[in-house]
Structure 1
Amino acid sequence: MHPVTSVPVSNQWYADGHFYPIQIAQFALQHYCKNRTDGPPKVTLVADFDQKQGEWRIPNDKAFVQRVYDSNRSSYIVTFDITHTQGLELEVPQGTSGVFVLTMDVMPKSKNFSFSVSLLEEKTGETYDLHYVNEGELFLFSSSKATYGVHLPLNSWTQFVRDLHVDVLKGKSAANGKKWKMNKARLRVTKIVFRGKGSLNLVTLASSQHSAFFFYGADWFMRHQDENGAWGCTVERRLAGGSVLLPPGWYSAMGQGHAISVLTRAYHVSGDVKYLEAAQRALEPFRRDSSGSGVSSDSSRRGVRAWFLGHLPWYEEYPSDPPSFVLNGFIYSLFGLYDLKDKSSDAKQLFETGLESLLKLLPLFDTGSGSVYDLRHVSLGIAPNLARWDYHTVHINQLTHLATIIDAPLLNETAKRWASYLKGKRASHN
């Protein structure tokens, strides 16, 4: 998770990490689905300063701490100025195991504003401290603590939402050089300590905050959409054993479709038209040819559309030269266009055009014993790129879902035949 934006950072293709639009969209959509399907989260109120003021420890007589009524928020807040290194401590009541998503309304008023959260592993007695400082993209770690830089604007209220369990695991994994596992049931938050100058209102711990994390993803897409309505991938991608190169900045139809799915949901949930307008701008790359690699010196010409044998349009997950015609990425792009088609005649036309291509080309992906991942054996003249079983299963699930929204018998027929390949059935021979 990125310490400032609270969206995932991908290590795929680049070990130092980068923002991968597809992964960020999948993160947001996962939280959107969980918000709709999971039960209400377990929430522990630590302090609201109206009915529950919380248990505080003030470091010394020189510390300034005051509870005041804020008419703009119609509630009481706590304002403080703490220079002592011990900090202003807010105790978390016992019985809070299993709630790790911290939510606070906070207003930093000094550059040295920071806060720490202590967690206790109840079986071993080990304490782990998380420090959050207002210094941007900072990540320091050891076996017993981690420091994260977060961007909180001065003199402005911000709702800070953070999954503490994830931050502990990230710090422990970095310190130990391998993925760390920790039993949530034995871990609990014990205290929150504030330093510097600021104000505070409403502190809770919850088992989840899916809506907040969904909008973190949606807002990332709002901030990073470029002049072409797209989100470029900032690392190079090599295909076909390294023989095909996508230089940094390439667009992905799958990434565009996923982003549209996120933004349309954000619009329907919030009613804020800015998300709908961003989703509509994201259609532009579908109208433009990929121009070979998909990265042109003239940025206004960049697109994700390829043409199969010069006649059938295909929305490229990887806009390579020659085109690769990846199946799963193309279908994901159709899902995004479908999500927007009731609000955009352009999206409807792009969806219907893409669906027509899919129905004509789908038989080419059938091997008689499985499916191929793409059509590089046609466009590049090399051996077929067989889909491993997990991708073959993705193909089946995509076709099955598409068949529930589109009346096209070929989709169901193909999905059922491909499902039979998983059970050992094969196409007949002559």
Structure 2
Amino acid sequence: MVAANPIEQFSNVAIRPRIKCLKPENGLPMSVQWSPIPYFYPVQILQFGFDYFMRNRTEQRELIERRLSNKDDLLTLKSGEKANFQIFSDLPILLFSAKIESMDGSSFVLFFEERIGGNLKRRKLNLEFRQWPNGSEKCVWNLNNFDGENEEENLHFAYFLEQNADFVEYLLDLPIFVLKALNLLNSKSTLSDALNFIPISIQFSGPLQLQLTSIRQKNFAHKEMPIPVERIFNKDEEENKLFLPAGWYSAMAQGHALSFLARAFNATGDERFLLAGERACDLFELKGNLELNKSKNFF
């Protein structure tokens, strides 16, 4: 059956096996569609954006949001200092704003406990976020020293962080981050397996700065999830970062991008998206195949 709305086919994009992980700094999917080294693949990024765009339009749920701290100031952690916050187990979206001042020791760690049949503390799972040597080549790391067959072992994984001198707005869909880690041990792991791991707490290690008002959880973030997609395509179009070689997959991405930019403009009224789409259409003003071939890369 053909979907009434063409973008309805882009559902649950984040859990697809060819998406290695979501980038912690912006929530964008990193693909292994055409390369074993994870990279930003425009087609999948746009499909990911369509997925949450449709959820935001169609799902009728009451938004629940809770803060993890009742303080309003800036928390500065020096090297070796740590701060812990308890996490609400029933809210899967975690948001906070932090500035990693040094990659030498700075990190944050998410702690989970497995729930099987209503019982907790069968296994613990840690997700550590920090810089790793050659980390961008793996996106998410398996730090376990066993083969995954021992079900009693605690689990330890790590996500790679880029060095950034500014505050970063983190938006973490916790079950998805757990799922992508579990896939390293068993490629057949499902979202249901990930949901068995209940978030307990998050620990920040300095040197870093943390906006205490920003630490909060939600039951969903359909409105926020497409924003990085809107930004990356507007930014990359403006800076002429045209990163797909000409071909059918590039044409597909071009069509997806124009559709997404149009929807972003309609939803926000922000003319930057309209202008970005208009500039992207300049490609089709080229005359003849010779000039088209000279345009080596586009969306």
**TM-score, with structure 2 as normaliser:** 0.73
Deviations 1:79-122 (A, max 9, x none): 1324337x3211225xx23x222111223334443111111112
- Does residue 151 (structure 1) correspond to residue 162 (structure 2)? The answer is yes
Q: Which runs of 5+ in 2 are unaligned?
A: 1-20, 145-154
Distance 1:249 1:199, change over 3 A: same
TM-score (norm 1): 0.52
* Contact persistence 2:179–2:190 (CA under 8 A): yes
In the alignment, residue 121 of structure 1 is paired with which amino acid?
Answer: E
Say whether the 8 Å CA contact 1:134–1:151 is kept in structure 2.
yes
Query: Residue deviations 1:337-359, cap 9 Å, x none?
Result: xxxxxxxxxxxxxxxxxxxxxxx
What secondary structure does 2:183 align onto? Answer: helix
Contact 1:286 1:303 in 2 (8 A): no
Counterpart among 81, 86, 89 of residue 91 in structure 1: 86
Report if the CA contact (8 A) 1:107-1:198 is conserved.
yes
Contact 1:231–1:256 (8 Å) recurs in 2: no
The match for 1:81 is: 77
Larger-gyration structure (1/2)? 1
Decide whether the 8 Å contact of 1:263 with 1:276 is kept in 2.
yes
CA RMSD of aligned residues (A): 3.1
The 3 A distance-change label for structure 1 pair 45 and 276 is same
Given the alignment, which residue of 280, 296, 299 partners 2:295? Answer: 299
- Note if 1:180 corresponds to 2:189: yes
CA distance in 1, matches of 2:215, 2:230: 24
Deviations along 1:253-305, one digit per CA (max 9) or x if unpaired, are: 3311211122222233333322221111111222336728x973x338x789x
SS at structure 1 position matched to 2:124: strand
Equivalenced residues, count: 255
* Shift of residue 182, structure 1, vs aligned partner: 4.7
Q: How far apart are residue 195 of structure 1 and its match?
A: 0.5
What is aligned with 1:221?
Answer: 233
Question: Which residue pairs with 1:118 in the alignment?
Answer: 111
Name the residue aligned to 2:263.
Answer: 265
Cα distance, 1:77 vs. partner?
2.1
Higher mean C-alpha displacement, 183-192 vs 125-134: 183-192
Partners of 1:193 and 1:269 in 2: how far apart? 36
Secondary structure, counterpart of 2:289 in structure 1 = coil
Could you say which residue in structure 1 is the equivalent of 2:203?
A: 193
Q: CA deviation at 1:193?
A: 0.2
**CA deviation digits over 1:319-343, x for unaligned, max 9?**
xxxxxxxxxxxxxxxxxxxxxxxxx
- What is the DSSP-based 3-state SS (H/G/I as helix, E as strand, rest coil) of the residue aligned with 2:37? coil
Letter in 1 for 2:126: D
CA drift at 1:20: 2.5
In the TM superposition, residue 212 of structure 1 has moved relative to its aligned partner by: 1.8
Q: Structure 2 vs 1, CA of residues 303 and 111 (structure 1 numbering), >3 Å: closer, same or farther?
A: closer
Q: What's the CA shift string for 1:21-77, capped at 9, x where partnerless?
A: 222111101111101111236535242434xxxxxxxxxxxxxxxxxxxxxxxxx12
Q: Does 1:130 align with 2:127?
A: yes
Compare the two structures and name the one with the higher strand fraction.
Answer: 2
User: Distance in 1 between the 2:43 and 2:27 partners?
Assistant: 15
Q: Which moved more, 1:158-167 or 1:39-48?
A: 39-48
Distance in 1, Cα, partners of 2:174 & 2:163: 17
Of the two structures, which has the highest relative contact order with CA contacts closer than 8 Å and spacing of 6 or more? 2
User: How far has the Cα of 1:208 moved from its partner?
Assistant: 1.9
What code does the residue aligned with 1:179 have?
A: K
Where do 4+ consecutive residues of structure 1 move more than 6 Å?
none
3-state SS, counterpart of residue 49 of structure 1:
coil
Q: Secondary structure at the match of 1:216?
A: helix
Query: Is the Cα–Cα contact under 8 Å of residues 288 and 303 in structure 1 kept in the other structure?
Result: no
Partner amino acid for 1:277? L
Equivalent residue letter for 2:216 = T
How many angstroms does 1:249 deviate by? Answer: 4.9
Question: Is the Cα contact below 8 Å between 2:130 and 2:161 reproduced in 1?
Answer: yes
- Equivalent position SS for 1:213: coil
The C-alpha deviation readout for 1:229-254, integer Å capped at 9, x for no partner, is: 68442xxxxxxxxxxxxxx4547333
